[in-house]
Chains A and B, each alone.
Chain A
Amino acid sequence: MFSLEKLVSIIQAWLQSTLRDPWAYVVVCVMVGVAAIALFAILGLMLVYMERKVAAHMQIRLGPNRVGPMGLFQTTADTLKLVMKEGLTPDGADKFLFNLAPFMVMIAAMLILAPIAFAKNFQIWDISIGVLYVAAVSSVAVIGILMAGWSSNNKYSLLGAMRSAAQIVSYELSAGLSILAIVILSGSLKISDIINSQADGWWIIKGHIPVIIAFIVFIIAVTAETNRAPFDLAEAESELTAGFHTEYSGMKFALFFLAEYINIFIGCAIGATIFLGGWMPFHIGNWEAFNHVMDFIPSSLWFIGKTVFLIFLIMWFRWTFPRLRVDQLLNLEWKYLLPISMVNLLVVTLMAIMGWHL
């Protein structure tokens, strides 16, 4: 059976037997870096393709279907086009910040990749404060967006960046609180511990209604944090043309574009890990035969499947709803999501203390 865990251990054993110790580590680091970048590129291409197909089918269209079988290479062609385009820097722009911003956004997205468990024992860095790390790093992205908006010397960009800052900062709260609910239940910040605590059932099932509420709040918050419709105020095409990346072109624009999709992937991966059990297969109580069949599916597939499901959900939102207004956006957070998730957190704590969740 295919398993990423075995692959990793084989590679590691081989490296350690052929190279001396420090060099083995260096090679591993390089390999991880290359793998991460490759993953990004592939993810970006696949997700953009997926988005276009999902959008098309919801809009009774066919979507990309010309380049390659079923239009699979359409996004590759688009990327090539973007790479070849001239990267303009506007005249009045703050050149340094303007060019730095897309990389900031991209690096922030890349950093969050570290603690995500793609399969059983397949994780770049199982840091002991995994969840906290994710919450912390994900707010770095807003600096990149602010930089882009400010340095473009364009009023649309500035408005977009300001909106984005207000939005990300406030939705961070409810995202954090809903993650906390699970941290309380599983008793650990470490990603692998959280996943292991779901061996006998995912939190969304074990945790009853409070966790479902937390899950819904989390999904909304992730949608908002990634600046996706209906919360795409930072880009708000019909109001701000393209918001904070109005002035970007060519590869720098592509980086923003890519970062958006990477952020979606990461948000959904965290959601899948925390609420849907990460790579944990679906188990029902003591149906041995059923559980065995479920175990047979590779853990990486479980993880990818759950993540893609959540991504689909977010895309579904985007292609259904109109956009909120900026004050409504903040109302939603401060008047609805935040109080609900706070009360919810109390209930979850009570649940954890009383042990109702088992």
Chain B
Amino acid sequence: MFLKEYFKTVYQTISSLLTGMRLTGYYFTHTKEIITQQYPETKPVLADRFRGEVIMPHNETNEHRCTGCTACELACPNGTIKIVTKNEINAEGKKKKAIDTFVYRLELCTMCNLCVQACPSDAIIMSNAFEHSVYDRRLLTKVLNKPGSKIMEGVE
């Protein structure tokens, strides 16, 4: 009786171990199952919605849609966005608030998308760039409106 139990344990042990080894052995011999990507050579295809960085799209004539309303600055939970506005005289000679610099500090951003949601004029979007490493931390503080850019016609 004791011996029977004893050998049963031995048998169960060996068979359970062999089942595991069969599985790892299967993957060892089937190299087509390998799932890793060779990163710098084959870049991952990221989904369109992937939130990698806040950007401000400009059109061909260097115009953006930002009115400088600072809704995004208020929506951001961690002070990533700083907007400096200026007063511009437009064609009709009226004074109008416009954006001077849109400072975006990538190192603080948590990609929560709240600023994009808050923007009333769809001036900023999330891009799916994900390779953000730089050698100098200062490079992470970005100005999103390009130099010399103007607000698009008709955006209020």
- A interface residue numbers (CB < 8 A to B): 54, 57-62, 65, 316-317, 319-321, 336, 340
Contact = CB atoms under 8 A, between A and B. Distances in A.
B33 A60 contact: yes
A58 B34 contact: no
A59 B20 contact: no
A57 B28 contact: yes
B24 interface: yes
- Pairs of residues from A and B, 10 with the lowest C-beta to C-beta distance, nearest first: A58-B24, A320-B24, A320-B20, A57-B28, A58-B28, A61-B36, A320-B21, A60-B34, A60-B33, A60-B35
Given A57-B31, A321-B17, A336-B10, A316 B36 contact: no
B25 A316 contact: yes
A321 B20 contact: yes
Nearest to A54: B28
Given A62-B38, A321-B17, A336-B10, A316 B33 contact: no
Contacts, number: 37
Contacts of A61: 34-36
B27 A59 contact: yes
Contacts of B25: 58, 316
Given A62-B38, A336-B10, A57 B20 contact: no
A317 B10 CA distance: 17
B27 A58 contact: yes
A316 B24 contact: yes
Contacts of A320: 17, 20-21, 23-24
Contacts of A317: 21
Interface residues of B, number: 15
Interface in B1-51: 10, 17, 20-21, 23-25, 27-28, 31, 33-36, 38
Contacts of B28: 54, 57-58, 316
Given A316-B21, A316-B25, 15 more contacts: A57-B27, A57-B28, A58-B24, A60-B27, A60-B36, A61-B34, A61-B36, A62-B36, A316-B24, A316-B28, A317-B21, A319-B24, A320-B21, A320-B23, A336-B10
Contacts of A65: 38
Contacts of B34: 57, 60-62
A316 B20 CA distance: 10
A129 to B, nearest CB: 33
Nearest to A59: B27
A340 B24 CA distance: 28
Interface string B71-114: 00000000000000000000000000000000000000000000
Nearest to B18: A320
B125 to A, nearest CB: 35
A35 B24 CA distance: 36
Contacts of B24: 58, 316, 319-320
Contacts of A57: 27-28, 31, 34
A173 to B, nearest CB: 18
A340 B14 CA distance: 14
Among A317, A319, A320, A321, find the residue whose CB has the most chain B CB atoms closer than 10 A: A320
